[in-house]
Structure 1
Amino acid sequence: MNVKLTTLAIIAALFSVSSYASDPVTVNVTGKVVASPCTFDTANSTLNIDLGEKGAADLANPASAFTEKPFNLVMKDCPAGTANVIATFSGTDAADLTSGNAFKNMGTATNMVIQVKPLAGAWNAVAFKSGSTMTSAVDTTAKTATFNLTTRAVTWTGGVNPGTVSASVVADFTYQ
């Protein structure tokens, strides 16, 4: 009889240990579906723009400039669901942005800055500085987004000394 009571006591202890309950735990799962990226189209984009040559005497007066050069940046293979591509431009800003947005000339010509802007619009109204953005809608038939741009070198002060004109502007693309 003693053996039976001991066995029953052990079984009862096991059931009482396993019958403890814990508080329920909630697991939250989150995520985000974002627009898929397009591919940069190197064949239809212009990455090296040659402004040509201009005589220092032609750049003697304030607001004198090289002839502007249009160029394109093209994104291709944009997937369904991508409606817009946003380009954010960055580079070294010119020291004096009071005369208009521009990037610093890294070349040797003095008193020159480089401007980049959308093809449409006045230079003083829409020229880029570091952090400027431009949005291009995706052509859903061609699955492309095209940024029609133009650039020039300009002097705010005149009195340009001969040398080179050079700037690097980075375009970083995001998608909507």
Structure 2
Amino acid sequence: MAQQINRLLPALACLWGICGVQGVQATDININGMVVASACSVDTGTVDQTVTFEQARAVDYTKVSDTSEWQDFELTLSACPLSTTQVTVQFSGDADSDDSTKFANAQGSASGMALQLVTRDHQTEISPQGTLAVVVDKNSRRAVFPLSARMYTPTGHVTSGEFQTTVQLTFTYQ
């Protein structure tokens, strides 16, 4: 029996050596994500809003920078979550070929006219691709962008026709 154990021990030692040589390797997994502020609701009066100007006469726009009267309007977002403290809007649209700080009369037939867009206090002009940020009111959970717009001639050479342009809005929440 001792002889059988002596023969078995080297065999077991070899098996243990083979079985014991196992690769062990530690590794890390990086998991990334982003927590973003939740969206507010765009009020129905803001969705597809139309700002209408009074009828203008081409003969009244003979000098560079002649303008129509300001038309006030606002963009309103409501039901903003508590985690959303600020809303930024980007204004996208075609820039006027004569004044790139104004929006082109892209869909209208009148020439020589552009859209000037500013904050309601007329202190900040908003150009195509420009942005504007407002703080969400903590009590009402609303974000309101008070704005004004008017027709503007960058050339002083206006022809009659329809004035129509589209400004697309993209909201970002912080």
Establish whether TM, by shorter chain, passes 0.5.
yes
Q: Which moved more, 1:126-135 or 1:144-153?
A: 126-135
Compare CA radii of gyration and give the structure with the larger one: 2
Which deviations, in whole Å up to 9, do the C-alpha atoms of 1:13-34 show, x marking residues without a partner? 2674255141211122222222
User: Using the alignment, how far apart are the partners of 1:55 and 1:130 within structure 2?
Assistant: 26
Q: Secondary structure at the match of 1:147?
A: strand
User: Using the alignment, how far apart are the partners of 2:48 and 2:140 within structure 1?
Assistant: 19
Mapping of residues 12-161 of structure 1, within 5 Å:
13=15, 16-17=18-19, 19-43=21-45, 47-97=49-99, 101-106=101-106, 107-122=108-123, 126-161=124-159
Query: How big is the alpha-carbon RMSD for the aligned residues of Structure 1 and Structure 2?
Result: 2.4
Cα distance change, pair 63–133 in 1 and its aligned pair in 2 (3 A) = same
Structure 2 length as normaliser, TM-score? 0.86
> How many residues align structurally?
171
Which deviations, in whole Å up to 9, do the C-alpha atoms of 1:25-75 show, x marking residues without a partner? 112222222211111111366711111201122122222212111111111
CA deviation after TM superposition for structure 1 residue 118, in Å: 1.0
Q: Secondary structure at the match of 1:57?
A: helix
User: Using the alignment, how far apart are the partners of 1:133 and 1:70 within structure 2?
Assistant: 18
Where does structure 2 lack aligned partners over 5 or more consecutive residues?
none
Q: Give yes or no for contact 2:122–2:148 (8 Å, CA) kept in 1.
A: no
Which amino acid letter does the alignment assign opposite residue 63 of structure 1?
S
Structure 1 length as normaliser, TM-score? 0.85
Aligned-residue identity in percent: 27
Q: Which moved more, 1:133-142 or 1:1-10?
A: 1-10
User: Using the alignment, how far apart are the partners of 1:60 and 1:96 within structure 2?
Assistant: 15
User: Using the alignment, how far apart are the partners of 1:40 and 1:24 within structure 2?
Assistant: 50
Q: Secondary structure at the match of 1:86?
A: strand
